[in-house]
Amino acid sequence: MPTVDAKPGPFTFDPATTALLVIDMQRDFLLPGGFGESLGNDVHQLRRTIEPLAALLAAWRAAGLPVIHTREGHLPDLSDCPPAKLARGAIGQQGAFGRILVRGEYGHDIIDELQPAGDEVVVDKPGKGAFYATELAEILGKADIRSLVVTGVTTEVCVHTTVREANDRGYECLVLADCVGSYFPEFQRVGLQMIAAQGGIFGWVADSPTLLEEIAR
């Protein structure tokens, strides 16, 4: 089976039971002038993930392997947004790309460079983790998926939460360092270290070229 050079050690996976998970590569978070930048964040810290992730997506699709995308956002009436989250953020307010993190708005959707293709699954989630209040577990179970290659943003929030949720459910996770991003370089560094610490407490960490080599074989 394919084996990737990773931390804390080699990551071996069966392509037949592995899915690529692309977390929240949304316009609200990544576009200049959008919600993320309006908070004072440097969106270029996230946008550096686009090129390697696009290359990975192309290779993954060419190999006929499953891709699952996620989007964080809420119903237009905000009935699925917890009061604490609503009180602390700008959820539902008018932003540069429509109402912020509201499903159906331009900013809520995935950036043009990484749009889902064909019948790829898109999971809309109201929280940080991709398993909470979503159909993701059912989707993975029906497809007999046991391993996840995890990409997307942000490393310390939605990526970390999802990896922890997946770990508790028995999935093996490979997080690709160049395909996940944080607005804060220190959070990026520490977030990745935490995943692979203590013998891989939450999963493995590698760079996408090492995985691309295995896919090419």
* Ranges of each domain in the chain: 3-216
Specify whether domain 3-216 bears CATH 3.40.50.850.
yes
In the three-class reduction of DSSP (H, G, I as helix; E, B as strand; rest coil), residue 54 is classed as: helix
In contact, 163 and 172? CB cutoff 8 Å: no
Averaged pLDDT in 10-residue chunks for the chain of 217 residues: 97 98 98 97 98 98 98 98 91 97 98 96 98 98 98 98 98 98 98 98 98 93
Residue 128 annotated in active site: no
Which of 81, 128, 158, 173 is an active site residue? 158
Find out whether 206 and 174 touch, Cβ atoms under 8 Å.
yes
Given the residues 24, 28, 109, 179, select the one marked as catalytic.
24
**Whole-number pLDDT of residue 217:** 84
Single out the catalytic residue among 28, 81, 109, 125: 125
Do the Cβ atoms of 139 and 123 come closer than 8 Å?
yes
Q: State residue 136's pLDDT score.
A: 98
Alpha carbon 190 to its chain centroid, in Å, reads 17
Q: So what's the pLDDT on residue 185?
A: 98
pTM > 0.95: yes
24 is catalytic: yes
| Active-site annotation holds for 125 | yes
